[in-house]
Chain A
Amino acid sequence: EAGVAQSPRYKIIEKRQSVAFWCNPISGHATLYWYQQILGQGPKLLIQFQNNGVVDDSQLPKDRFSAERLKGVDSTLKIQPAKLEDSAVYLCASSVRDRGRTDTQYFGPGTRLTVL
């Protein structure tokens, strides 16, 4: 079974530029997450999709971040314009909920963003 794919793996941009990240979840996984992980911290949820609908985007800085999930499969996360504090690893994860109502997430390798 193929895992969660993300691209690019690394990106360096200057502040005020825009950037986009792509994620392809595990086939059949209805739930998709984008997390931001700053060095030394745990993953922080930015947005959660169930199929192509948004379940939780309460921590997404909507003035600069946007995300969409095309046809309930692939997803893109965009930052426009980027700030220095956006330097982090952006992780995509997917999951399929089991009957026990638990949610085990499978993560991609992440995209390391550096904003100069």
Chain B
Amino acid sequence: SQKIEQNSEALNIQEGKTATLTCNYTNYSPAYLQWYRQDPGRGPVFLLLIRENEKEKRKERLKVTFDTTLKQSLFHITASQPADSATYLCALGTGGFKTIFGAGTRLFVKA
């Protein structure tokens, strides 16, 4: 069956460290993969998109990698700050403009 798996447990890290979040998927062939941020009581906000033929994408302190052989994406936040604390959602873009969301990983950055 098709699955998207993100770290189910919350990730706690110290301010200034790099946070790494994982998204694994099975039985999908996504054309692209996106990462969204969601704060409590708010809708998700788009952060980054990476296509199937791209290995890495960067935006300021954010970096995403995409390995279609391993069926995995890694999302990195460097020099993390308490303001980065949120839930991060992985979303697969499949054929036909369908987007499937993972359950998300909660990140807590301690000062």
Q: Which residues of A contact B (CB under 8 A)?
A: 4, 31, 35, 40-45, 48, 55-56, 91, 93, 97, 100-110, 112
Contact = CB atoms under 8 A, between A and B. Distances in A.
A74 B104 CA distance: 29
A93 B32 contact: no
B61 interface: no
Given A42-B89, A91-B43, A93-B43, 18 more contacts: A4-B43, A31-B97, A35-B101, A40-B103, A42-B4, A42-B101, A42-B103, A43-B89, A45-B98, A45-B100, A91-B44, A102-B93, A104-B46, A105-B99, A107-B43, A107-B44, A108-B43, A112-B41
Contact of A102 (B42, B51, B89, B101): B51
15 contacts: A31-B97, A41-B103, A42-B4, A42-B102, A45-B99, A45-B100, A48-B98, A91-B43, A91-B44, A101-B97, A103-B93, A103-B97, A107-B43, A109-B42, A110-B41
B49 A102 contact: yes
B45 interface: yes
The number of chain B residues touching the other chain, given as a range, is: 20 to 34
Interface of B: 4, 31-32, 34, 41-46, 49, 51, 89, 93, 97-104
A102 B43 contact: no
Contacts of B42: 109-110
